[in-house]
Structure 1
Amino acid sequence: MTTKNVPKSFQKMIDRVAEVFPEHEKLQEMFQQCFLNTYATTLTETKEGLPFVITGDIPAMWLRDSTSQIRPYLMVAEDDPEMAAVIAGLVKQQMRFVQLDPYANAFNQEANGKGFQADKTEMSPHVWERKYEIDSLCYPIQLGYLLWQSTGSLAHFDTDFRHGVAAILDVWKTEQRHETESPYSFEREDVRQSDTLNRDGKGTEVTYTGMTWSGFRPSDDACLYGYLVPSNMFAVVALGYLEEINAVCWNDANLATEIATLKTEMEQGIQDFAVQEHPYYGEMYAYEVDGTGRKNFMDDANVPSLLAAPYLGFGDFTDPKYLATRQFILSRENPFYVEGSQLMGIGSPHTPDHYVWPIALSVQGMTATNLSEKLAILEMLTTTDGGTGFMHEGVNASNHNEYTREWFAWSNAMFSEFVLSLCGIYVKGSPLANNTK
């Protein structure tokens, strides 16, 4: 890893944490390390001079991870034109990748043929991995919108952004009818089931709901059923952002109708098929459905998740259906909720049993409505870092010295945003900021 001098705009955030938590030296040290991690170690450039953000220990750029890693710097960009320009450049790079292949989730810095080129799908040398995930297309829209809210600038809503939006809308509309209209399939040989799609790469059979289909979860694991509810929730929020962007930048009546129609269909699909009656928790959201009645009650640690719904902007933090879902998620009824001697929280089938994800704990903290829960989570996160001062992917709930991914910038960024929220600092235009009004 390399280090860089700390810009004054970053130091302002570091100083604020020290001001709010003057006696918590470990938190101060951990926040500084985690907050600077993306800036100091994962931010590079393409040959064209645009930002390229690796995930950490993998030399590829995920649309999801790169957005989440850079998101805390939106608070810096409010007063730092250089960081604002970096984020605007990242939005441009993301939308160029979307135009290159809207079904891909991760890309190479150049067309070097690295990654999973042997996968049975339409790979290209610029694509690292082509697992289709709805959220990969939501995140660039979210980043562009929040950059506008943070800085007031509209310059990044350029031709690349507009063409990227067109590609995204086309895919989401196509995947509403995955069985009859989709060109996408994916298979990877000699791997665990979660790394490939069944039925000759088409995935478990679905029927029309109004929602849009996803092959994979934000964990990069295959969906059990093709309508991934939290990702559809995120897509609805992203479509709302596009409505605002179009009204201010493009004023395209046909585009407005296209966005509004798709948003309405997906919202209705969530209400008609994702809202289910649980025997213990009542009316709540399922994690995945297929449109025929099959449903999957669970939640995963990665974002978007059901737990993260109001953090992303779908529904209110105190909505009864969300609260019932949250109760389920944070109980043993959720097959991926873990209770250990050191940690309690949500894990993932992507990592070993009995492992809790710090990302999920940060989300739990940011969606909690009482301070005691927030502070209890902060205590867990600051005492279970394995002595590294960083967040990890998954941590053994009974031995925090056992963890996956020593270098995981996404998790460090989520922790940073959680800590800043405890200091009264939020991304402008985000649901967390709006919830404080």
Structure 2
Amino acid sequence: MTTTRPAAARTPYAVDPQIVGLIGEQADRIRAVSGDRIGDMVQEALLRTLTDTITVGADGSAFVITGDIPAMWMRDSTTQLTPYLRLLGRSEPLADLVASVVRRQFTCLGHDTYANAFNDGPTDGHHEPRDLCKDPHVWEQKYEIDSLAYPIVLAHALWRATGRTDVFDEGSHDVLRRVVAQLRLEQRHENSSYRFVRPSPLPTESLVRDGLGSPVGFTGMTWSGFRPSDDACTFHYNVPGNLLAAQALRALAEISAEVHADQALADTALSLSAELVAGVAEHGIVEGPDGARIYAYEVDGLGGQLLMDDANTPSLLALPLFAPDVLDPAVYEATRRFVLSPANPFFFSGPVAEGVGSPHTLPEYIWPIGLAVQALTGPAEDRPRLLELIAATDGGTGRIHESFHTADPTLFSRPWFSWADSMFCELALQVADDADAA
């Protein structure tokens, strides 16, 4: 990893006192239900995301790092802000911040719709300097469907929570057109000019066929080079990514029709969304180990299918959170049983915990993000237990990590992973909401 040019002058985000007060109020709600330690952890994490991951330029633009990596991911910068969305209608300064992040995301996508992570300007920082992509603005150009979908989801959430449309300028309109065009182009990937080549002994770090990826057949789904974990796909139709894209295209259609007054784009987006859902139904639903019909994680349209799930979202387990309007409930329930069982090769169980991990990390390492998703998509009565489990497996650091060992939580990956912090906070807030509703 290198950075050879300085970033533009920026300052840490100065949290408005009103936001501090709202965070304290939410933390008190959590303390009343889940105890002081969890309430304190949530309060610190919500403040830390704002003060330590977000910087602001002289022009007011926001830049969001993932934690211990100095780059901005389209996925992470959306999920890091998820716990704050419920407060947007109560805080104009918070809405202003989310709007600044959305504008930055649209700017990034306007620069390169195939990149997954960006630098704070043309710093020439790269995860791997030998990558085929040499763009000084781009940290990494691993094409992942969710990199296009998540910013649309965030922009839509901001709009629906506040009614504000100032983020939807002509630049964003052009980005939405490009997103639809690219998702459609990648339905037939052989026609694409995208390539990813990285010198690495790890097969998950590059694409075969000189960067084109392994062969696929036409399915109606859209192609992805990499998973949300940033690992290369085995089979390049990632099912949870396609369903997230289908959901995001519905949001895009609403924005196009109601804000940009572009009914043609809205109709095209809805048509493409339906094509993705139909493609998943025809090719992405397969027979599971117990004979039930479940979602595959990846397929290639040529007979190849991968039965697994990965804790990184969008995941199969997380579909009710990210694709609620386009999933098949019966297929999801059968898939959920598969994901949370030993039949999933990345479901790990040990003396301390059991849950979903990832091929991106070591065997027997569980992801707190996966535990949070399991809780948020499962019965309310199980959420307090999983919240306490995540808090208890922080390795004594007070922070939520990328993953931890099933037998020893002091063995963990990534000392500071802001996305995991935010998913922990989202779960804690949901537990408090459940208590209020009881």
TM-score above 0.5? yes
Distance across 1 between alignment mates of 2:15 and 2:94: 14
**Corresponding position of 2:429:** 420
Per-residue deviation, 1:120 = 4.3
1:111: which partner in 2?
122
Q: 1:39 to 1:121 in 2, by over 3 A?
A: same
- Answer yes or no: is 1:377 the counterpart of 2:414: no
User: What corresponds to 1:261 in structure 2?
Assistant: 271
Structure 1 stretches (4+) deviating beyond 2 angstroms? 2-23, 45-49, 116-123, 313-318
Stretch of structure 1 that moved more, 346-355 or 314-323: 314-323
Matched residue, 2:304: 294
Unmatched runs of 5 consecutive residues or more in structure 2: 1-11
Amino acid at match of 1:147: L
In structure 2, what is the equivalent of residue 313 of structure 1?
323
Moved more, 111-120 or 327-336: 111-120
**Match for 1:56: what amino acid?**
G
Return the TM-score normalized by structure 2.
Answer: 0.92
Give 1:315 deviation, angstroms. 4.5
Q: Is the 8 A contact 1:396 1:403 kept in 2?
A: yes
In structure 1, the partner of 2:4 is none
Q: Name the SS of the counterpart of 2:313 in structure 1.
A: coil
The equivalent of 1:124 in structure 2 is 135
Q: Report the TM-score when normalising by structure 1.
A: 0.93
For residues 150 and 315 of structure 1, the distance between their equivalents in structure 2, rounded to whole angstroms, comes to: 19
CA contact 1:14–1:28 (8 Å) conserved in 2: no
Give 1:412 shift: 0.4
The CA deviation string for residues 211-240 of structure 1, in whole angstroms up to 9 with x for no partner, is 100000011000000000000000000001
Counterpart in the other structure of 1:432 = none
CA contact (8 A) 1:87 1:147 kept: yes
Q: How does 1:373-412 map to 2 (within 5 A)?
A: 373-412=382-421
The CA deviation at 1:49 is: 2.7
Matched, 1:88 2:127: no
The match for 1:280 is 290
Amino acid in structure 1 at the alignment position of 2:238: L
Once the two structures are TM-superposed, the CA of residue 318 in structure 1 deviates from its matched residue by 8.9
**Distance in structure 2 (CA, Å) of the matches to 1:354 and 1:41:** 30
1:348 pairs, out of 343, 358, 364, with: 358
SS at match of 1:153: coil
Q: Quote the Cα distance in structure 2 between the aligned partners of 1:101 and 1:19.
A: 42
The aligned amino acid for 1:402 is L
- Residue 46 of structure 2 is matched in structure 1 by 35
Matches within 5 A, 1:92-241: 92-116=103-127, 118-179=129-190, 181-241=191-251
Query: Given residue 288 of structure 1, which amino acid in structure 2 is its aligned partner?
Result: E
Question: Measured at CA, do residues 95 and 3 of structure 1 come closer, stay the same or move farther in structure 2, by a change above 3 Å?
Answer: closer
- Cα–Cα, structure 1 residues 78 and 10, in superposed 2: closer, same or farther, change >3 Å? farther
Residue 316 of structure 1 deviates from its aligned partner by 8.1
Q: Is the 8 A contact 2:142 2:230 kept in 1?
A: yes
Instruction: Render the CA deviation track for 1:290-318: whole Å, top value 9, x for unaligned.
Output: 00121000000101000000111335899
**Structure 1 CA distance, aligned partners of 2:15 and 2:314?**
33
- Matches of 2:222 and 2:375, distance apart in 1: 29
Q: How far has the Cα of 1:394 moved from its partner?
A: 0.7
Deviation track 1:47-86 (CA, whole Å, cap 9, x = no partner) reads 5431000111111111111111122222232211111111
Is 1:60–1:128's contact at 8 Å kept on the other side of the alignment? yes
Q: Using the TM superposition, name which of 40-49 and 154-163 deviates more.
A: 40-49
2:6 aligned partner:
none
Task: Provide the secondary structure at the position in 1 that maps to 2:265.
Answer: helix
Which 5+ residue runs of structure 1 have no aligned equivalent?
426-435
CA distance 1:31–1:138, shift in 2 (3 Å): same
**Residues paired across the two proteins, number:** 424
Q: Which amino acid aligns with 1:141?
A: I
Quick check: 330-339 or 199-208, which moved more? 199-208
What amino acid does structure 2 have at the position aligned with 1:84? A
Q: Measured at CA, do residues 378 and 120 of structure 1 come closer, stay the same or move farther in structure 2, by a change above 3 Å?
A: closer
> 1:25 is matched with which residue: 20, 31, 36?
36
Change (3 A) 1:325 1:10: farther
Q: Distance in 1 between matches of 2:47 and 2:159?
A: 23
- Asked whether the equivalents of residues 358 and 392 of structure 1 are also in contact (C-alpha less than 8 Å), the reply is yes
**For residues 256 and 377 of structure 1, do their structure 2 counterparts lie closer, same or farther at Cα, with a shift above 3 Å needed?**
same
Stretch moving more, 3-12 or 220-229:
3-12
TM-fit CA distance, 1:20: 4.8
300-309 vs 278-287, greater mean Cα deviation: 278-287
The equivalent residue for 1:68 is 79
Whole-angstrom distance in 2 between the partners of 1:15 and 1:119: 48
Superposition deviation, residue 411 in structure 1: 0.6
Deviations 1:265-312 (A, max 9, x none): 111101000011113150110000000121000000101000000111
Change (3 A) 1:233 1:318: closer
Q: Which residue identity is paired with 2:306? A: N
Contact 1:317–1:367, Cα closer than 8 Å, also in 2: no
Alpha-carbon contact 2:348-2:357 (below 8 Å) kept: yes
SS at match of 2:80: helix
* Aligned-residue RMSD, C-alpha: 2.0
Partner of 1:428: none
C-alpha distance in structure 1 between counterparts of 2:323 and 2:79, whole Å: 15
What amino acid is the match of 1:125? P
Matched position secondary structure for 1:400 = coil
- Pick which of 195-204 and 293-302 moved more: 195-204
Q: Report the more deviating stretch, 13-22 or 346-355.
A: 13-22
Where 1:78 maps in the other structure, the secondary structure is helix
CA contact (8 A) 2:13 2:54 kept: no
> What is aligned with 1:429?
none
Give the secondary-structure state (helix, strand or coil) at the position aligned to 1:382. Answer: helix
Q: CA deviation at 1:177?
A: 0.2
Q: Is the 8 A contact 2:177 2:265 kept in 1?
A: no
- CA shift for structure 1 position 369: 2.3
Any idea what the Cα deviations from partners look like across 1:369-421, whole Å, max 9, x if unmatched? 241x2122112111111111110001111101111111111110111111111
